[in-house]
């Protein structure tokens, strides 16, 4: 380990790795610290790793569209450092999103896509069967649990259609994506330290000065960045910055179900789907599977977790609820006898949008509250954090003179106060994993 560290990054998931990479490109000597054995081992590895451009706000859509340009040319983003055999594969399947009353029939989303120059296609209700053969077009809203009366019974009317977003898909191995970025960052001199936990945030003269580790050592640096995912609230409390923040983060337990695709769509092109009528999203998994996640309807109990190292990792009735909600749309979907899928944690703010910001402790920065929906934005989040840190350390008062970042692939400028720790709750948010 080099004697002089410019910035310590707590967390080596995909966003932490991208932050290290972007800072290393600016010449910062970074040290990433993670309590787990390798990059991407935590919540990143449990991500559905969906890449999509539709969010609830213009800025979020812009970040996602910029991110799509990076994912589709992943090797170039890593500057050719990682061999083709080791690179993750991005599957550009496109995304089919049902038009529903809940998403205002995607009118705003399409207006934003027009503003950003992001392509999309309107799909009629009958045409949806070209994407999902065997589709049941009945409406079932509001979503229910399988133990609630009326589950699976149509509530009147039919789907009016969907929007197909061709710029979207998924990454086949999210953990490896973080390892890919680690390799590129290390080429620039970044360092990574695993299997060790941050026990204390050190301060000197009211400024962060480093961290104390579980192996008894301390590492000094004038910049510390909290990218600890579901552990981020714990790190913020450790740094003493939580009480001064309007937005806070909490860990939320989530389940994702895995089922085999029905025979009716065996020859169809499988893609990412989002259906806010039955309130599930899906993405292909392997040669013949689907991952199915909740879009967080009111009927789904939200299980907040105070200790991210100690929570129930067993499947509950939720996995079957998710599978059967999707089966309302595809009636010949088989329901497994045994639960398969993922149980993991999200890191959630009050409005389900991230915090990319400084703190009231000089030198302490945060990329947290990523809510299970920021994997796709990770390369852009790294650029956000690098730009913010560079400007703030040069003396710019980000709280009163917000740093701005121009997204080079789509020529759109984002004011980073949209992700402030002290912003008002964004009422345009879906208040769900959709963002």
Predicted local confidence at residue 224, as pLDDT? 98
pLDDT tens digits for range 219-274: 999 999 999 999 999 999 999 999 999 999 999 999 999 999 888 887 678 899 99
Q: What is the pLDDT of residues 415-428, one digit of tens each?
A: 999 999 999 998 88
Distance, CA of 122 to CA of 21 (rounded, Å) = 38
In the chain, the percentage of residues whose pLDDT exceeds 70 is 99
CA distance 342 to 74: 26
Quick: pLDDT tens for 363-403.
999 999 997 789 999 999 999 999 999 999 999 999 999 99
State the Cα–Cα distance between residues 82 and 75, nearest whole angstrom. 7
| Closest of 397, 395, 433, 435 to residue 417, by C-alpha | 397
Residues 6+ apart with CB under 8 A from 154: 138, 139, 140
- Residue 324's H or E segment, with its range, is helix 318-329
Using alpha carbons, select from 234, 207, 252 the residue that is nearest to residue 346. 252
pLDDT in tens, 69-98: 999 999 999 999 999 999 999 999 999 999
Taking domain 95-166+252-347, whether its CATH number is 3.30.9.10 is answered by yes
The confidence band for 312, taking pLDDT boundaries of 50, 70 and 90, is very high
What number is the average pLDDT over the span 301-305? 93
Instruction: Name the β-bridge partners of 292.
Output: 257, 282
What pLDDT is recorded for position 429?
Answer: 85
The DSSP 8-state label assigned to residue 158 in this structure reads B
Q: How far is CA 268 from CA 93, 134, 264, in A?
A: 12, 11, 8
Check: CB of residue 25 under 8 Å from CB of residue 7. Answer: no
Token pair of 100 as six digits: 């529903």
* pLDDT in the model for residue 426: 83
Q: Which residues contact 410 (CB under 8 A, 6 or more apart)?
A: 62, 65, 66, 69, 116, 117, 118
CATH superfamily label, 7-86+173-249+351-419: FAD/NAD(P)-binding domain (3.50.50.60)
- Return mean pLDDT, the chain: 95
Tell me the backbone φ, ψ of residue 65, rounded to 5 degrees: -65, -40
Rg (CA), the chain: 21
What does the pLDDT read at residue 427? 87
On the question of a common fold for 7-86+173-249+351-419 and 95-166+252-347, the answer reads: no
What is the pLDDT averaged over residues 112-137?
A: 95
Domain ranges of the chain: 7-86+173-249+351-419, 95-166+252-347
Q: What is the pLDDT of residues 326-347, one digit of tens each?
A: 999 999 998 988 899 999 999 9
Is the pLDDT score of 3 beyond 70? no
């Amino acid at each position: 380990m080099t004697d002089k560290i410019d910035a310590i990054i707590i967390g080596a998931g995909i966003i932490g790795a991208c932050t290290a990479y972007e800072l290393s490109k600016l010449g910062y000597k970074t040290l990433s610290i993670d309590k787990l054995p390798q990059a991407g081992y935590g919540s990143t590895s449990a991500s559905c790793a969906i890449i999509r451009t539709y969010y609830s706000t213009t800025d979020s859509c812009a970040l996602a569209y910029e991110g799509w340009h990076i994912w589709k040319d992943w090797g170039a983003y890593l500057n050719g450092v990682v061999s083709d055999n080791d690179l993750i594969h991005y599957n550009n399947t496109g995304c089919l999103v049902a038009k529903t009353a809940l998403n205002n029939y995607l009118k705003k989303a399409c207006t934003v896509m027009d503003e950003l120059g992001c392509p999309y296609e309107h799909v009629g209700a009958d045409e949806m069967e070209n994407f999902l053969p065997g589709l049941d077009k009945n409406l079932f809203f509001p979503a229910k649990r399988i133990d609630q009366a009326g589950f699976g019974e149509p509530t009147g009317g039919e789907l009016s259609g969907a929007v197909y977003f061709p710029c979207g898909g998924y990454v086949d191995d999210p953990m490896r994506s973080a390892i890919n970025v680690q390799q590129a960052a290390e080429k620039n001199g970044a360092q990574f330290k695993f299997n060790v936990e941050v026990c204390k945030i050190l301060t000197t003269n009211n400024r962060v000065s480093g961290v104390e580790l579980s192996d008894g050592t301390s590492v000094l640096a004038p910049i510390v960045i909290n990218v600890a995912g579901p552990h981020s609230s714990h790190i913020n409390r450790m740094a003493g910055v939580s009480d001064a923040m309007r937005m806070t983060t909490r860990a939320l337990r989530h389940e994702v179900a895995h089922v085999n695709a029905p025979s009716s769509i065996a020859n169809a092109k499988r893609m990412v789907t989002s259906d806010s009528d039955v309130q599930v999203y899906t993405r292909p998994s392997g040669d013949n599977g689907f991952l199915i996640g909740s879009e967080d309807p009111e009927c789904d109990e939200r299980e907040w977790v105070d200790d991210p190292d100690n929570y129930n990792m067993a499947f509950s009735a939720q996995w079957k609820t998710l599978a059967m909600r999707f089966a309302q749309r595809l009636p010949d979907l088989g329901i497994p006898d045994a639960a398969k899928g993922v149980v993991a944690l999200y890191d959630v703010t009050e409005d389900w949008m991230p915090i990319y910001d400084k703190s009231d402790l000089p030198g302490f920065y945060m990329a947290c509250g990523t809510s299970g929906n920021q994997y796709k934005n990770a390369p852009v989040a790294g650029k956000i954090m690098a730009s913010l840190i560079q400007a703030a350390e040069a003396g710019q008062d980000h709280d009163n003179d917000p740093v701005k970042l121009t997204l080079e692939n789509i020529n759109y400028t984002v004011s980073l106060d949209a992700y402030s720790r002290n912003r008002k709750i964004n009422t345009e948010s879906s208040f769900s994993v959709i963002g």
